[in-house]
Chain A
Amino acid sequence: MKRIFAALAFLVLAIFAAHAVTPDEMLDDPVLEQRAREISAKLRCLVCQNQSIDDSDASLAHDLRVIVRERLVDGDTNEEVMDYVESRYGEFVLLQPRFSARNLLLWGTPVIGLLLGLGAIAFLFRSRSGAAPVNRLSAEEQDRLSKILGEGEESGR
């Protein structure tokens, strides 16, 4: 299956036909079933490429869906179920990595990005206020530029 994707440059079509949860697996209690679906969407099908167990028809995904439901029936909270699955399969199984030192860059990027950007913008505003804008174009160049720009009223100068 990997080959297929490798063969497709940039195709957004990314994942194979999925069959996902079957009626046999589903719990009778709709509330519990809903929770099971929510948890399933956050767990990775380990043998698939970037698919959650909720979307995958691999037998391993089926096993995991059953485990999730068993734990829920036994009265586990959502977190306990996630912890349990993680303890058996490692962090790889979580589609949303934990907040941890190792994942600092991952989770920090949106915040750091915004702050850096804001800082840079603030710095530029501060350093440039006061300095008069310089027009480096000579008169002849300016003339040619406005000719190229066409009508003039749109040139915004």
Chain B
Amino acid sequence: MIVEIGHYALVLALMLAIIQTVVPFVGVKSGDARQIAMAPNLAFAVFAGIALSFAVLTWGYVTSDFSILNVWENSNSQQPLLFKFTGVWGNHEGSMLLWVLILALFGALVGLFGSNLPPTLRAMAISVQGLIAVAFLGFILFTSNPFERLSPAPLEGQDLNPILQDIGLAIHPPLLYLGYVGFSICFSFAIAALIEGRIDAAWARWVRPWTLTAWGFLTAGIAMGSYWAYYELGWGGWWFWDPVENASFMPWLAGTALLHSALVMEKREALKVWTILLAILTFSLSLLGTFLVRSGVLTSVHAFATDPTRGVVILGILVFFIGGALFLFALRSSSLSNGGMFHPISREGGLVLNNLVLTTATATVFVGTLYPLLIEALTGEKISVGAPYFDATFVPLMVPLLLAVPFGPLLAWKRGDLYGAAQRLYVFAGVALLIGLLTLVFIEGMHVLAVIGIAIGVWLLLGAFAEIIQKSGWPKAGASVAAARLRGLPRSVWGTALAHAGLGVCVLGIVSVSSFQQEEVLRMKPGAITELAGYTITMKGFEERQGPNFVEDVASFEVHRDSDYVATIMPSKRIYTARRMPTTESGIFTTGFSQLYLALGDPVEGTDEIVVRLWWKPQVTLIWLGPVLMVIGGLFSLSDRRLRVGAPKPSAKRRQTLAAAE
């Protein structure tokens, strides 16, 4: 009965979403204020319906109700509660439900926090948001219904895929979806603005907090996923340029470009047309990612052709929204006037360079990801585009941008002084080069690329704070004056600095691991000793353990440095009972920013030896701490008073004068 309520709530949400699409739209077109005012409440109602439905499915998982097909396929009564819970979105149907839940959440948030928006713009944006919800609710109900029943209900479920039985599943998909789907707000605002035919700096200011929020979640989600893959997969890789990863990386690249171009639009009313286009493209790439992953087209064009229902429906949704949006854009964009003029050497110019590189990088990842599909569809031949291609194209593309980043915030709007900026930065450049060269002293047999990479990382990290130092007036102004000025700086300035520094930190981690990582693959038996990066690692022995829904062989390794005990690392191999599926759990010891990473291979037949893989990963955690800094930077910007979602409210005194004036 409860299940039917969830199912019904989903159908109800679809009906309400249709009303959410139609009524505000008609209201805006006919100028009916009551219909316009209904928009937020409709958005709340749709969210409530989907939330109820989601809660019911969660209830089914938590109580192991195997009369629900979806629960039976992806859960097991022996699973720890956390994984019963996260199993809700560890499958196709449930993850789509999470997708629309977040979509509706954002719609509702616009209703909640949009009181400072012009009512017609808000109503129109909520209407567009409703249309997206209609499409995906329809998709769920007609092709991927999570409430399908199974009769008679089996006694035991099939278990969640063991690889997914990890805390990572609890965090990664919700964060990623909040990012992905969060960009739908920018999309809806762009469409609403195109329909209304008026776009100005205020529009950019309204959209900015949403862009920042979505971007922050997406950044955190991708970084979290990368770390999850790193420790779960057992061979220490952290980014694979896999199509599934690229599907999330493309919206991130485009979203980052959008974040920067919207800044120009907000401050200078320039780049309006381009910003609108980017807002459309960013969410289009999110939709494309949904299609790529959901349709199975990535495996092969033929695999897609054998069971095309879901794929075709998503493709239809994709074509409708992207095509429709671009059509509307083509129709209306010429009527948008472009505002502020600027010199190529200026803050705007720097942001244009940012957009040029990020957009080209997005295009490169896009073409690289889809090229095998294109070639197979056109000629029937199969080719592979993997990590070496992306390393060879993406990295050289990004280098000029990374070099330019510290200059950007130092250039003035309209017309900047490149020479002046260079004068403020040359010290940082010198320090960066010096540190890069210093690595040569400490590590033997190193190549030029690592020196350049380290120097770029340090350059970004230090250069990020150049704007703050400049604005504080230090060292010319005394320390106390400088400190006072620092406190007075808008938070967005700190946000920019932290995010750019995070980029530098991430680059340092990547370069450090790819240049200085040490690896050892060998056979070991209890008592065996090996050395890696100055650590002595002794294999102690094996122990069998019984987990809630798995059995595992845990090996213990003692780590010593200069005969001092440092740590015990315990990697293991598990067999999950329900699916008889083996997994490898790596053992990681973190010291400073670096990690010692151990993974077990197969036992060597006829001996008591086992294959052991050891890695020394210097500064590897910087790869993920960088994005954490970026997200913190995003939060700083988000809390800047001019962007606060509740609108920058005038002070009480000013409100009085305003009231008096009216």
Counting CB contacts under 8 A, is A59 at the interface? no
Q: Quick one: which of A92, A114, A125 has the most chain B CB within 10 A?
A: A114
Do A11 and B388 touch across chains, with their CB atoms under 8 A apart? Answer: no
Do A10 and B289 touch across chains, with their CB atoms under 8 A apart? Answer: yes
A19 closest partner in B (C-beta): B601
Counting CB contacts under 8 A, is B403 at the interface? no
Counting CB contacts under 8 A, is B205 at the interface? yes
* Least CB distance, A135 to chain B, in whole angstroms: 8
Do B385 and A121 touch across chains, with their CB atoms under 8 A apart? Answer: no
The residue from B95, B205, B298, B381 contacting A149, defined by CB atoms under 8 A apart = B205
Contacting chain A: which of B232-240, B420-428, B499-507, B536-544?
A: B232-240
Do B237 and A55 touch across chains, with their CB atoms under 8 A apart? Answer: yes
C-alpha spacing A51/B245, complex, angstroms? 13
Do A128 and B341 touch across chains, with their CB atoms under 8 A apart? Answer: yes
C-alpha spacing A20/B602, complex, angstroms? 11
B350-374 interface mask toward A, CB cutoff 8 Å, 1 = contact, 0 = none? 0010001101110110011001000
Do A150 and B584 touch across chains, with their CB atoms under 8 A apart? Answer: no
The residue from A16, A44, A102 contacting B384, defined by CB atoms under 8 A apart = A44
Counting CB contacts under 8 A, is A118 at the interface? yes
Do A22 and B521 touch across chains, with their CB atoms under 8 A apart? Answer: yes
Chain B: interface size category: 35 or more
Residues of chain B within 8 A (CB-CB) of A22 are 521, 601-602, 611
C-alpha spacing A20/B233, complex, angstroms? 11
Do B387 and A117 touch across chains, with their CB atoms under 8 A apart? Answer: no
The residue from B226, B364, B641 contacting A110, defined by CB atoms under 8 A apart = B364
Counting CB contacts under 8 A, is B308 at the interface? no
Q: Quick one: which of A6, A26, A41 has the most chain B CB within 10 A?
A: A6
B159-188 interface mask toward A, CB cutoff 8 Å, 1 = contact, 0 = none? 001011000100011001100100000000
Do A50 and B388 touch across chains, with their CB atoms under 8 A apart? Answer: no
The residue from B99, B221, B371 contacting A9, defined by CB atoms under 8 A apart = B99
The residue from B234, B242, B360, B649 contacting A114, defined by CB atoms under 8 A apart = B360
Given contact pairs A6-B92, A44-B384, A91-B381, A13 touches B338 in the complex (Cβ within 8 A): no
Do B233 and A92 touch across chains, with their CB atoms under 8 A apart? Answer: no
Residues of chain B within 8 A (CB-CB) of A21 are 521
Instruction: Tell me the chain B residues, 570-593 only, with Cβ under 8 Å from chain A.
Output: 583-584
* Least CB distance, A38 to chain B, in whole angstroms: 10
Q: Quick one: which of A10, A94, A102 has the most chain B CB within 10 A?
A: A10
Instruction: Tell me the chain A residues, 102-116 only, with Cβ under 8 Å from chain B.
Output: 102-103, 105-107, 109-110, 113-114
Given contact pairs A17-B163, A50-B243, A109-B363, A96 touches B389 in the complex (Cβ within 8 A): yes
Instruction: Tell me the chain A residues, 3-41 only, with Cβ under 8 Å from chain B.
Output: 4-23, 26, 41
Do B176 and A12 touch across chains, with their CB atoms under 8 A apart? Answer: yes
C-alpha spacing A101/B523, complex, angstroms? 47
Q: Quick one: which of A14, A94, A96 has the most chain B CB within 10 A?
A: A14
B296 closest partner in A (C-beta): A6
Do A12 and B244 touch across chains, with their CB atoms under 8 A apart? Answer: yes
Do B244 and A2 touch across chains, with their CB atoms under 8 A apart? Answer: no
Do A121 and B290 touch across chains, with their CB atoms under 8 A apart? Answer: no
C-alpha spacing A52/B31, complex, angstroms? 60
Residues of chain A within 8 A (CB-CB) of B396 are 110
Given contact pairs A19-B601, A93-B384, A50 touches B268 in the complex (Cβ within 8 A): no
* Least CB distance, B653 to chain A, in whole angstroms: 13
C-alpha spacing A37/B367, complex, angstroms? 27
Counting CB contacts under 8 A, is B229 at the interface? yes
Counting CB contacts under 8 A, is B27 at the interface? no
* Least CB distance, A10 to chain B, in whole angstroms: 5
Do B359 and A117 touch across chains, with their CB atoms under 8 A apart? Answer: yes
The residue from B228, B337, B385 contacting A95, defined by CB atoms under 8 A apart = B385
A142 closest partner in B (C-beta): B200
Do A16 and B163 touch across chains, with their CB atoms under 8 A apart? Answer: yes
B228 closest partner in A (C-beta): A13
Given contact pairs A18-B235, A21-B521, A23-B611, A12 touches B161 in the complex (Cβ within 8 A): no
Given contact pairs A12-B226, A110-B393, A95 touches B521 in the complex (Cβ within 8 A): no
A57-101 interface mask toward B, CB cutoff 8 Å, 1 = contact, 0 = none? 000000000000000000000000000000000111111110000
Instruction: Tell me the chain B residues, 260-299 only, with Cβ under 8 Å from chain A.
Output: 266-268, 289-290, 293-294, 296, 298-299
Do A15 and B413 touch across chains, with their CB atoms under 8 A apart? Answer: no
Counting CB contacts under 8 A, is B450 at the interface? no
C-alpha spacing A44/B382, complex, angstroms? 12
B628-651 interface mask toward A, CB cutoff 8 Å, 1 = contact, 0 = none? 000000000000011000011110
Chain A: interface size category: 35 or more
B648 closest partner in A (C-beta): A150
A154 closest partner in B (C-beta): B642
Counting CB contacts under 8 A, is A47 at the interface? no
Residues of chain A within 8 A (CB-CB) of B367 are 105-106, 109
C-alpha spacing A154/B207, complex, angstroms? 17
C-alpha spacing A101/B195, complex, angstroms? 43
Given contact pairs A95-B389, A97-B385, A13 touches B229 in the complex (Cβ within 8 A): yes
C-alpha spacing A35/B163, complex, angstroms? 32
Do B228 and A12 touch across chains, with their CB atoms under 8 A apart? Answer: yes
The residue from A6, A13, A49, A136 contacting B163, defined by CB atoms under 8 A apart = A13
C-alpha spacing A103/B374, complex, angstroms? 11
* Least CB distance, A81 to chain B, in whole angstroms: 15
* Least CB distance, B143 to chain A, in whole angstroms: 14
A132-155 interface mask toward B, CB cutoff 8 Å, 1 = contact, 0 = none? 011011000000010111110011
Do A128 and B232 touch across chains, with their CB atoms under 8 A apart? Answer: no
The residue from B364, B383, B387 contacting A103, defined by CB atoms under 8 A apart = B383
* Least CB distance, B252 to chain A, in whole angstroms: 11
C-alpha spacing A42/B177, complex, angstroms? 32
Residues of chain A within 8 A (CB-CB) of B338 are 128, 133
Residues of chain A within 8 A (CB-CB) of B173 are 9-11
C-alpha spacing A133/B339, complex, angstroms? 6
Do A52 and B360 touch across chains, with their CB atoms under 8 A apart? Answer: no
Instruction: Tell me the chain B residues, 191-246 only, with Cβ under 8 Å from chain A.
Output: 200-202, 205, 221-222, 225-226, 228-229, 232-235, 237, 240, 242-245
C-alpha spacing A154/B602, complex, angstroms? 63
Do B235 and A97 touch across chains, with their CB atoms under 8 A apart? Answer: no
C-alpha spacing A149/B201, complex, angstroms? 9
Residues of chain A within 8 A (CB-CB) of B232 are 13, 17
C-alpha spacing A113/B359, complex, angstroms? 8
Counting CB contacts under 8 A, is B154 at the interface? no
Given contact pairs A17-B233, A17-B234, A52-B387, A11 touches B172 in the complex (Cβ within 8 A): yes
5 pairs, A vs B, C-beta closer than 8 Å: A7-B92, A12-B228, A97-B389, A106-B389, A154-B490
Beyond A9-B290, A11-B172, A113-B363, 10 additional contacts (C-beta under 8 Å) are: A12-B222, A13-B163, A13-B168, A91-B381, A91-B384, A110-B361, A113-B359, A117-B360, A149-B205, A150-B648
CB-CB nearest 8 A-B residue pairs: A12-B225, A95-B386, A150-B648, A96-B388, A113-B360, A14-B242, A156-B267, A9-B95
